[in-house]
Amino acid sequence: FCSHVYRLKGRLHACISPSENGLTNGKILTGLTDGQLENLDMIEGDEYVRKTVEVVLTETSEKMKVETYVWANKDDPDMYGEWDFEEWKRLHMEKFIEAAKKFIEWKKNPDGRSREEFEKFVHEDPLVA
């Protein structure tokens, strides 16, 4: 699976999208419960599709099938450039973690509020973008 990690205009998070010659580095999480996967599915929402892909482990060159979240709209005009993890940590990680916590609180007690209310938390503050 060749892919690229793009920045998303106006968002606190990146996206993975198929790319002819792309290479995506990442972490493999194992041992997740069904409930944890459900939380991830809800946080990612309809904008992502959970897809099974084959990866090659850096350390051993072993091939492994894993699931990843791929941006559903491969032609999204908001995708651009190369996402930088260190920059994201410095500029956006704190707000992203805050948004994830608010989302989990909402899931426990929606109290009549819509998912869309909480999607705004993953959008960048224009002063930081």
pLDDT in tens, 94-109: 988 888 888 878 877 7
Question: Across the chain, what does the average pLDDT equal?
Answer: 85
CA 10 to CA 64: how far, in whole Å?
33
CA 14 to CA 99: how far, in whole Å?
15
CA 36 to CA 39: how far, in whole Å?
5
Q: Which of 20, 38, 44, 59 is catalytic?
A: 44
Summarize the chain as % helix, strand, coil (round to 5).
35, 25, 40
Per residue in 74-98, pLDDT tens?
999 999 999 999 999 999 899 888 8
Q: How confident is the model at residue 129 (pLDDT cuts 50, 70, 90)?
A: very low
Domains and CATH numbers, the chain: 3-122 (3.10.490.10)
82 tagged catalytic:
no
Predicted confidence (pLDDT) at residue 66 exceeds the cutoff of 80 = yes
